[in-house]
C-alpha cells in the first residue's frame, strides 16, 4: 500500500478537527447549560414579580374565575402563533407543560394558576430561588410574597426542560459541524494539493531529465520544508557526476597510457616468436616482461586513482594510525627494488610519535608512491631518506632523495596526470604524485616540494594536522 502525504494530512487534520470540535461542543454544552440556567432564573424572577405587580393589592376585588378562564386559553393561542414557524420542531405545549405559575392566598388557597400547574404548591414557603421535587420531577422555583395582601406568587420550571434546551443547542452545533465537514475536507484537499505542487514540479523536472543531465535542481521556488531534500538530491547529482567523470577519465587514461605498452608487448612477442636466435629471443622475452611490469604498474596506478575522490566524505573508514609503523612496512616491502639498484634507504622517527587520524590504506599508498618514485629516479648507488617528526600542531612525513630533482618551473605541473619531466628516462606513468596530492586533500594535509640546500635531489614534505 502506497503512502500518500495528501491522504495522511487529510485524515489526520480531519481527525484533529473532529476531536477538537467534539471537545469544544462538550465544553460549550456545560457552559451553555450554566448560562441557560442563570438566564431562566432571572426570567422566572422577573415574571413572578411582574405577575405580582400586575395583580396589584386589590386581587380579591377582581373576577378571578374570568381571569382563570383566560389563562386556560393561553396554550391554544400560543399554538396558533407558532403553528407556521420554521423552528417548530416540537409543539409549544411540550414546553408549557413544564412551565407553571401559581397565585396562593394568605390562607393557602390556590387563586390563579397556569393551565398545567399542579394542584400542590411548588413553593417551600421561602422567598427567592429554590428547588422542589414534585411527583419525582425536579423543579426550579421562584417565590415572592405580597407584603400587603399576603398572596404568594410562585413560578416554577422543570429541570429536564432546561437540559433539553442545552441538548438542542448542542445538537444544532453538531448538525452544523457534520454539514461543514465535507466542505472542510474539500478545502483541506485543495490547499494540500496546492502546497504539494512544488514536489510535483521537482519530481517532473527529475523525471524528464536525460541520464547524463546531472546539473543541480533549482531551489529558488522550492518551499523551505523540502529545500534540504532538494539540496541532498543536488549533492547526489554532484557525486554521480564525479563518478561518471572518474569512469570517463579512467577509460581515457587507460586507453591513452596502455596503447604504447601493449604495442611494445605485441612487437616483442612477434620478435620472440619469429627469431631463431636464442640471444635475441631471450632479449625480446626480457623486454616483454618489462613491458608487462610497466603495464601492471600503470593499471595499478589507474585503479588507485579512480578510487580516490577529492571529497572528505569518502574517508568513511578512519582510525588512529601510526605513521612510523606504516612507513617501516612500506620501506620493507620496497627494499628489494632498492637493493637491486644498490640504493640505500634510511628511516628516522622520533620516539612516542603521536598517532594520526586517517585511512591506513590511503596513507600506505601515499608513502609507497613517494618512496617508489624516489627509488625510480635515484641513480644507482643513490640514497633515500624517510623522516617522521611531530610538531605541536602537525605530523610531518618527509621523503628525501639525491636524484635529478624537479625544476622549480615544473613543480606545479608534476601533479598533472601523465605529466613527466622531459628527458627523464626512469620508468613511470606520471600518476604517482597526482595520487599523493589527492590523498593529501582527503586528509587536509599540506604537500610541498623542495630542493635540497646542497646538491641535487628532491624533498617531498607532507604536514598532517594532528587534530
| Inside any domain, residue 188 | no
pLDDT value, residue 294? 63
Q: Contact, 358 vs 321, CB < 8 A?
A: yes
If asked whether residues 101 and 236 sit together in one domain, one would say no
Mean pLDDT across the stretch 398-421? Answer: 67
pLDDT value, residue 125? 81
Helices (H) and strands (E) in the chain, counts: 11, 12
Which of 117, 147, 181 is the last residue before a domain boundary? 181
If asked whether residues 144 and 58 sit together in one domain, one would say yes
In this predicted structure, the answer to whether residue 308 has a pLDDT above a threshold of 60 is no
Confidence of residue 43 (pLDDT cuts 50, 70, 90): confident
Confidence of residue 385 (pLDDT cuts 50, 70, 90): very high
If asked whether residues 411 and 334 sit together in one domain, one would say yes
Q: Which of 297, 462, 325 is nearest to 395 (CA)?
A: 462
pLDDT tens, position by position, 174-227: 788 778 878 887 887 888 777 777 777 777 777 777 776 777 777 666 666 677
- Top mean pLDDT of 169-173, 265-269, 376-380 is at 376-380
Confidence of residue 87 (pLDDT cuts 50, 70, 90): very low
Q: Contact, 47 vs 39, CB < 8 A?
A: no
If asked whether residues 271 and 127 sit together in one domain, one would say no
Mean pLDDT across the stretch 364-383? Answer: 85
If asked whether residues 401 and 451 sit together in one domain, one would say yes
In this predicted structure, the answer to whether residue 85 has a pLDDT above a threshold of 50 is no
If asked whether residues 165 and 270 sit together in one domain, one would say no
If asked whether residues 275 and 341 sit together in one domain, one would say no
If asked whether residues 157 and 250 sit together in one domain, one would say no
- Give the CATH number of the domain where residue 397 resides: 3.30.565.10
pLDDT value, residue 366? 85
| Inside any domain, residue 407 | yes
Q: Contact, 162 vs 37, CB < 8 A?
A: yes
Q: What is the mean pLDDT of the chain?
A: 76
In this predicted structure, the answer to whether residue 331 has a pLDDT above a threshold of 80 is yes
pLDDT value, residue 52? 82
* Alpha helices (runs of H) in 275-348, residue ranges in sequence order: 278-307, 323-340
Which of 265, 287, 307 is the last residue before a domain boundary? 307
Q: Contact, 326 vs 360, CB < 8 A?
A: yes
If asked whether residues 173 and 286 sit together in one domain, one would say no
More confidently predicted of 202 and 325: 325
In this predicted structure, the answer to whether residue 298 has a pLDDT above a threshold of 50 is yes
| Inside any domain, residue 217 | no
In this predicted structure, the answer to whether residue 258 has a pLDDT above a threshold of 80 is no
| Inside any domain, residue 106 | yes
Which of these ranges, 29-33, 83-87, 353-357, 385-389, has the smallest mean pLDDT?
A: 83-87
| Inside any domain, residue 28 | yes
More confidently predicted of 225 and 368: 368
Which of 254, 284, 307 is the last residue before a domain boundary? 307
Q: Give 141's strand partners.
A: 130, 156
| Inside any domain, residue 172 | yes
Confidence of residue 386 (pLDDT cuts 50, 70, 90): very high
If asked whether residues 292 and 342 sit together in one domain, one would say no
| Count of structural domains within the chain | 3
If asked whether residues 298 and 322 sit together in one domain, one would say no
| Inside any domain, residue 79 | yes
More confidently predicted of 422 and 200: 200
- Give the CATH number of the domain where residue 287 resides: 1.10.287.130
- Show the domain range for 428: 313-465
Mean pLDDT across the stretch 306-335? Answer: 73
pTM listed for this prediction: 0.43
Confidence of residue 417 (pLDDT cuts 50, 70, 90): low
If asked whether residues 25 and 140 sit together in one domain, one would say yes
What gap in Å lies between CA 463 and CA 443, rounded to an integer? Answer: 10
| Inside any domain, residue 221 | no
In this predicted structure, the answer to whether residue 108 has a pLDDT above a threshold of 60 is yes
What gap in Å lies between CA 223 and CA 197, rounded to an integer? Answer: 10
Amino acid at each position: 500500500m502506497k503512502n500518500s502525504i495528501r491522504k495522511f494530512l487529510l485524515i489526520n487534520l480531519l481527525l484533529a478537527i473532529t476531536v477538537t470540535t467534539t471537545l469544544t461542543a462538550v465544553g460549550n454544552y456545560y457552559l451553555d447549560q450554566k448560562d441557560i440556567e442563570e438566564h431562566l432564573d432571572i426570567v422566572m424572577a422577573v415574571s413572578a414579580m411582574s405577575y405580582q405587580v400586575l395583580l396589584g393589592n386589590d386581587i380579591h376585588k377582581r373576577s378571578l374565575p374570568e381571569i382563570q378562564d383566560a389563562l386556560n386559553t393561553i396554550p391554544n393561542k400560543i399554538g396558533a402563533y407558532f403553528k407556521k414557524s420554521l423552528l417548530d420542531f416540537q409543539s409549544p405545549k411540550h414546553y408549557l407543560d413544564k412551565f407553571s405559575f401559581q397565585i396562593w392566598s394568605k390562607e393557602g388557597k390556590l387563586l390563579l394558576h397556569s393551565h398545567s400547574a399542579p394542584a400542590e404548591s411548588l413553593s417551600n414557603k421561602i422567598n427567592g430561588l429554590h428547588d422542589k421535587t414534585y411527583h419525582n420531577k425536579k423543579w426550579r422555583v421562584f417565590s415572592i410574597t405580597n407584603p400587603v395582601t399576603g398572596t404568594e406568587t410562585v413560578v416554577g420550571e422543570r429541570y429536564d426542560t432546561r437540559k433539553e434546551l442545552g441538548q438542542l443547542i448542542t445538537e444544532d452545533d453538531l448538525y452544523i459541524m457534520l454539514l461543514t465537514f465535507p466542505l472542510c475536507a474539500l478545502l483541506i484537499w485543495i490547499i494540500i494539493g496546492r502546497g504539494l505542487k512544488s514536489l510535483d514540479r521537482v519530481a517532473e523536472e527529475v523525471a524528464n531529465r536525460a541520464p547524463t543531465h546531472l546539473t543541480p535542481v533549482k531551489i529558488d521556488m522550492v518551499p523551505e520544508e523540502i529545500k534540504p531534500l532538494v539540496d541532498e538530491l543536488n549533492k547526489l547529482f554532484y557525486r554521480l557526476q564525479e563518478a561518471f567523470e572518474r569512469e570517463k577519465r579512467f577509460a581515457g587514461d587507460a586507453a591513452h597510457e596502455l596503447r604504447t605498452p601493449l604495442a611494445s608487448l605485441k612487437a616483442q612477442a612477434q620478435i620472440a616468436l619469429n627469431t631463431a636466435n636464442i640471444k635475441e629471443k631471450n632479449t625480446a622475452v626480457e623486454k616483454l616482461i618489462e613491458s608487462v611490469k610497466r603495464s601492471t604498474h600503470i593499471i595499478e596506478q589507474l585503479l588507485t586513482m579512480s578510487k580516490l575522490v577529492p571529497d572528505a566524505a569518502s574517508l568513511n573508514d578512519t582510525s588512529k594510525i601510526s605513521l612510523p609503523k606504516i612507513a617501516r612496512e612500506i620501506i620493507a616491502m620496497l627494499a628489494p627494488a632498492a637493493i637491486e639498484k644498490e640504493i640505500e634507504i634510511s628511516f628516522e622517527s622520533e620516539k612516542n610519535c603521536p598517532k594520526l587520524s586517517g585511512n591506513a590504506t590511503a596513507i600506505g599508498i601515499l608513502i609507497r608512491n613517494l618512496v617508489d618514485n624516489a627509488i625510480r629516479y635515484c641513480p644507482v648507488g643513490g640514497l633515500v631518506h624517510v623522516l617522521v617528526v611531530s610538531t605541536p600542531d602537525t605530523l610531518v612525513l618527509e621523503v628525501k632523495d639525491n636524484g635529478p630533482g624537479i625544476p622549480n618551473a615544473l613543480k606545479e605541473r608534476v601533479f598533472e596526470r601523465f605529466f613527466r619531466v622531459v628527458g627523464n628516462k626512469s620508468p613511470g606513468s606520471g600518476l604517482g604524485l597526482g595520487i599523493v596530492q589527492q590523498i593529501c586533500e582527503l586528509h587536509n594535509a599540506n604537500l610541498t616540494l623542495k630542493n635540497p640546500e646542497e646538491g641535487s635531489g628532491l624533498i617531498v614534505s607532507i604536514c598532517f594536522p594532528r587534530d
